[in-house]
Structure 1
Amino acid sequence: MFFIFTLGIPQFLSSCASSEADITSGWSQQKLMDEAKTALADKDYANCVKYHEKLESRYPFGPSAEQAQLNTAYCNWKKNDIELALVSINRFIQLHPGHADIDYAYYLKGLITFNDNLGFFASFSGQDLSERDPKASKDAYEAFKILSTRYPNSKYTPDAIDRMRYIVNSLAESDVNASRFYFRKGAYIASINRAQNAIKEYDRAPAIEEALYLMVKSYDALGMKDLSEDTMRVFNTNFPDSNIFKTGKRVSVTAREGSWWQIWNTQSP
């Protein structure tokens, strides 16, 4: 019986090997390019990555390899492999700094890290935003900044600028959400510190109105009258028409319909 069993092992292993055979092994360069293009068009991102990686490894020189690198980064991003997408796009930027599509490469790099950031939407989950790492947002901002600075006429630059605006505002919003969280917990010094950070780093963001408001309220709670009055003077200078001290809500921002970068959380203590 043992002899009979062992006779079946080579056949079993052969069957496994054939089932795992690389179906692309006999494909020409054109066949690989066509299948990769089809996978991309069909949003079959797993095969999109697979075929483009095969294309680059077998034909590592020329425009098709360069395009394969870009498409590999894009498809990794679309299938939510953020780390692999960043490796791919950083490699492309390093190897081809003068490429005709380098503006798109920086735009894609920004999108990859931009999508990895929850921004102020995390405030709706009840998460303490003071614990969030803003690195992804800042990395996205830097990529968009390089694009908009070096390639101001790129077709991707207007959207990149909008996204930069959103990132700045969401980072400010994150600090103000944290400041509000600490205020409600009675941690007034922590509330002041996060509000001050928002003012220092993002002084033109809409959330600054509430940051100053939280500082005034926190100083009042701590009995620091002089600092409260000084902050109130700054507030009145910058937001003379605000009703936040009457309503508990800052002036709402009228967003254009569909303008995702202009959505603000207007809740206050």
Structure 2
Amino acid sequence: MSMKHFLLVGLLALISACASNQVLDESLSESELYLLAQQDLDANSYGAAVEKLRALESRYPFGRFAQQAQLELIYAYYENMEPEAAKSSADRFIRLHPQHPNVDYAYYMRGMTSFTRDRGIFERFLPLDMTRRDPGAARDSFNEFAQLVSRYPDSRYAPDARLRMVYLRNLLAAYDVNVAHYYLKRQANVAAANRGRYVVENFQQTPAVADGLAVMVEAYQRLAMPDLAETSLQVLRANYPEHPSLDGDSFRHHVEPAKRERGMFTTMAGDLMGKVMTPPSRNAGTQMEREMQQQYLQALDALPREIRAPAQSEEEKQGRSIWSRITFGLFD
């Protein structure tokens, strides 16, 4: 390990130690603690806000700010990238205050923690296809949003939850189509046909239904079941005449429709949902590259002038990768 790495680890350890050694004044009143927590939340200092909200709840469990602090603790944990703590706090609030007028917020945040569980830093900056990932978090999120919508249909959070449920349903359907294509690749034709039929029967009105029908046609043709293959093909032609597998009167199934599927699900959760993001032109760069470049420039502008690196020539800049620029060369 180089000296730069040692310095980086030491700096992070020092910052962590300083943050963990902060001691709140025992004489702070309930309102003072709550006000300090609000200031931390407004300043996006979510770790500090967590400490103050937890202190408020433990010191004044029956105070007038106690229940509100429990709600805001869910949000602080969520923004501090502690999804399990946020979900645990939401479950606790629902259990302790089932009749609270703002309990719908706890249900909503519980769904949000599952919604963003698999969307870490790599998923934000790397072109990963979420339809090929483990769908466990997506299923949990869908069920939790569904519970919110069924219990509190008039909640202010219900419209957003419904939009996210549409997105999650499309994602789960596309995941099952990917599984069916995997079965086709492995010559597991019966399993592929069953998975395609499952998509058609259980995910109506999703874009994946057409792919499910195409999988059924291909699988039944391989299984020498012409009647079922022809029936599925007729349904595909009647409902999805523009499907890529249809070429005039002939059928040619695309076993790997990764590019087409990935385009449907590159929209980030914050853009929700019914908005289809138009892929950028090739000469404009990818969305990932633009976001990374913007974050790099913002981080560079935030540096004090004393520690900024000297200006580089164009040849030097072109020789460095985006990762090298973002990490300021620490890991070169």
TM-score (norm 2): 0.63
Tell me which amino acid in the other structure corresponds to 1:160. A
Whether 1:195 and 2:233 are equivalent positions in the alignment is: no
Residue in 2 aligned with 1:244?
245
Distance in 2, matches of 1:164 and 1:231, equals 28
Whether 1:183 and 2:203 are equivalent positions in the alignment is: no
Distance in 1, matches of 2:107 and 2:100, equals 11
Give CA deviations for 1:31-88 in whole Å, capped at 9, x if unaligned: 2111111111111111111111110011111441111111111111112211111110
Tell me which amino acid in the other structure corresponds to 2:237. N
Structure holding more helix per residue:
1
Whether 1:222 and 2:261 are equivalent positions in the alignment is: no
Contact 2:71 2:90 in 1 (8 A): yes
Tell me which amino acid in the other structure corresponds to 1:137. A
Contact 1:76 1:84 in 2 (8 A): yes
Residue in 1 aligned with 2:111?
110
Distance in 1, matches of 2:222 and 2:276, equals 30
Distance in 2, matches of 1:89 and 1:126, equals 29
Distance in 2, matches of 1:127 and 1:194, equals 19
SS of 1:37 mapped into structure 2: helix
TM-score (norm 1): 0.77
SS of 2:65 mapped into structure 1: helix
| Aligned-pair Cα RMSD in Å | 3.4
Contact 2:180 2:215 in 1 (8 A): yes
Contact 1:166 1:262 in 2 (8 A): no
Give CA deviations for 1:194-227 in whole Å, capped at 9, x if unaligned: 3233223212211110111111112222322222
Tell me which amino acid in the other structure corresponds to 2:87. L
> Can you give the 5+ residue segments of structure 1 that lack an aligned partner in the other structure?
1-15, 265-269
Contact 2:131 2:175 in 1 (8 A): no
Aligned-residue identity in percent: 33
Distance in 2, matches of 1:186 and 1:208, equals 21
Alpha carbons of structure 1 residues 24 and 194: separation in structure 2 relative to 1, 3 Å: farther
Alpha carbons of structure 1 residues 34 and 128: separation in structure 2 relative to 1, 3 Å: closer
Residue in 2 aligned with 1:212?
213
Residue in 1 aligned with 2:297?
none
Alpha carbons of structure 1 residues 28 and 127: separation in structure 2 relative to 1, 3 Å: closer
Distance in 2, matches of 1:163 and 1:38, equals 30
Between 98-107 and 84-93, the greater mean CA deviation after superposition: 98-107
Correspondences of 1:155-194 after superposition (within 5 Å): 155-194=156-195
Tell me which amino acid in the other structure corresponds to 2:91. N
Q: Once the 2 structures are TM-superposed, how far is the Cα of residue 117 of structure 1 from its aligned partner? A: 4.4
Correspondences of 1:1-269 after superposition (within 5 Å): 20=21, 22-117=23-118, 125=128, 129=132, 132=134, 134-240=135-241, 242=243, 244-246=245-247, 248=254, 258-261=271-274, 263=276
Q: Once the 2 structures are TM-superposed, how far is the Cα of residue 138 of structure 1 from its aligned partner? A: 2.3
Distance in 1, matches of 2:155 and 2:274, equals 20
Alpha carbons of structure 1 residues 107 and 20: separation in structure 2 relative to 1, 3 Å: closer
Tell me which amino acid in the other structure corresponds to 1:94. R
Tell me which amino acid in the other structure corresponds to 1:81. E
Tell me which amino acid in the other structure corresponds to 2:110. K
Contact 1:128 1:178 in 2 (8 A): no
Contact 2:87 2:109 in 1 (8 A): no
Distance in 1, matches of 2:204 and 2:35, equals 50
Residue in 2 aligned with 1:7?
none
Q: Once the 2 structures are TM-superposed, how far is the Cα of residue 244 of structure 1 from its aligned partner? A: 3.4
Alpha carbons of structure 1 residues 114 and 213: separation in structure 2 relative to 1, 3 Å: same
Distance in 2, matches of 1:45 and 1:145, equals 28
Contact 1:183 1:191 in 2 (8 A): yes
